[in-house]
């Protein structure tokens, strides 16, 4: 075989390999409808998209009071031995949780991913088990995690659909902390790091979420775009270069945007009188008004101390719109369960949690599982 023929054969093989890694999906964030899919359920390597789940579990731990933004995490010898990209801290050095979050989002440092994992679970192996368990809980049916960083592991696999489920669930469960993913730059000890997600800089409406790359995975990108009244969540796997991956992402977003559902702004619905009495029935904290989305329901709320939360929004109209959309998509699954927006007042911020009420724990778990099979992200919550 001539050198030229060998070169052409090698090039062809590389193109086939690159094509075999490609997968992509775009989902309407308002309705859950798949607007574009290529190999959407095929197994792929997540690369540094893995760190989204690492951060998700860190946010969970913070919500549970185990860590706060000022908590110090200690870098282990194992963490320092990780392959680049790295922050480069030495054994025994400490990093604040707030800095760890920012450096994972921007620089995607593998040593800090391991530091987070070991701080939460003792070992990275134990943490990976927690990651996979969380994946199953939120409806990532085909994903398995083996490490916290996304460094190569043949058994660490996911799908385009699962990654969109991950992004949607994180935004729903931790809407305030999700804002970290739109960070463009981060300065640590005098050095400035730029976010690898170029769509944050040049694609209108992008507010996150993350890039990834290994030789086995190709160039990956998970993106969240809110433009006007529309919301798209999209993922691309297997780009040959970061430039071609970004171009592909823009193309499928542009193709999907005209078919996305614009948010419907509802006129304010009448609030059921005696909201304190409603709150007592649903075990909502004193002073928080549980606002019924469909006050036409006249049947009593079914027995049970659990809700199914399907989103959390800064505007009550968005929470109402999400509940209405789910009733249209899966009305037979949640029929008889009162839709509510439950306000959560935080400093300088009001949050409206979109929920369906009146479940036992067993019924809530079963119903949420059925919703996830329709690509509807949900979380079972105690009726506080």
Q: Per the structure block, which two tokens stand in for 324? A: 């209405």
From the centroid of its chain, how far is CA 131?
13
Task: Say which residues have a Cβ less than 8 Å from residue 180's Cβ, sequence separation at least 6.
Answer: 55, 101, 102, 105
Residue 320 · residue 341 · CB < 8 Å? yes
Length of the chain: 384
State yes or no: is 267 an active-site residue: no
Query: Of 61, 76, 85, 108, which one is the catalytic site residue?
Result: 108
Query: CB under 8 Å to 221, separation ≥6 — which residues?
Result: 197, 199, 210, 211, 212, 235, 236, 239, 245, 246, 249
- The answer to whether residue 51 is catalytic is yes
Find the angle CA(107)-CA(212)-CA(225) to the nearest 5 degrees: 90
Nearest-5° angle of CA 235, CA 134, CA 222?
A: 10
Indicate which residue of 51, 86, 107, 198 is catalytic.
51
**Distance between CA atoms of 5 and 76, rounded to whole angstroms?**
50
Whether 217 is catalytic: no
Residues labelled as active-site residues: 48, 51, 108
């Amino acid at each position: 075989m001539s050198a030229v023929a060998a070169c052409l054969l090698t090039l062809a093989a590389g193109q086939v390999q690159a094509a075999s890694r490609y997968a992509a999906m775009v989902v309407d964030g308002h309705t859950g409808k798949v607007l574009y899919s290529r190999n959407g359920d095929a197994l792929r390597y997540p690369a540094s998209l893995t760190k989204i789940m690492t951060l998700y579990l860190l946010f969970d731990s913070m919500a549970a009071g185990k860590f706060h933004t000022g908590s110090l995490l200690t870098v282990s010898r194992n963490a320092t031995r990780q392959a680049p990209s790295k922050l480069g801290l030495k054994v025994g050095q400490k990093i604040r949780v707030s800095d760890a979050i920012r450096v994972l989002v921007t620089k995607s440092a593998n040593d800090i991913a391991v530091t987070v994992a070991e701080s939460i679970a003792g070992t990275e192996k134990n943490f990976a088990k927690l990651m996979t368990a969380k994946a199953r809980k939120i409806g990532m049916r085909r994903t398995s995690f083996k490490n916290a960083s996304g460094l190569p592991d043949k058994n660490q696999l996911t799908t385009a659909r699962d990654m969109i489920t991950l992004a949607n669930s994180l935004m729903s469960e931790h809407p305030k902390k999700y804002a970290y993913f739109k960070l463009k730059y981060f300065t640590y000890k005098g050095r400035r790091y730029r976010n690898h997600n170029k769509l944050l800089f040049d694609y209108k409406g992008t507010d996150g979420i993350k890039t990834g790359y290994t030789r086995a995975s190709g160039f990956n990108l998970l993106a969240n775009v809110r433009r006007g009244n529309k919301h798209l969540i999209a993922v691309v796997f297997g780009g040959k270069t970061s430039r071609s991956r970004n171009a592909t992402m823009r193309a499928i977003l542009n193709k999907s945007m005209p078919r996305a559902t614009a948010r419907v702004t509802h006129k304010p619905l009448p609030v059921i009188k005696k909201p304190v009495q409603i709150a007592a029935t649903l075990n909502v904290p004193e002073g928080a008004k549980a606002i019924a989305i469909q006050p036409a329901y006249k049947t009593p709320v079914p027995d049970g101390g659990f809700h199914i939360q399907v989103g959390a929004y800064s505007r009550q109209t968005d929470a109402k719109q999400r509940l209405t959309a789910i009733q249209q998509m899966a009305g037979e699954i949640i029929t008889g369960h009162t839709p509510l927006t439950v306000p959560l007042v935080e400093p300088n911020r009001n949050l409206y949690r979109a929920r369906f009420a009146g479940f036992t724990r067993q019924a809530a778990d079963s119903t949420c599982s059925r919703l996830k099979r329709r690509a509807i992200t949900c979380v079972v919550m105690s009726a506080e």
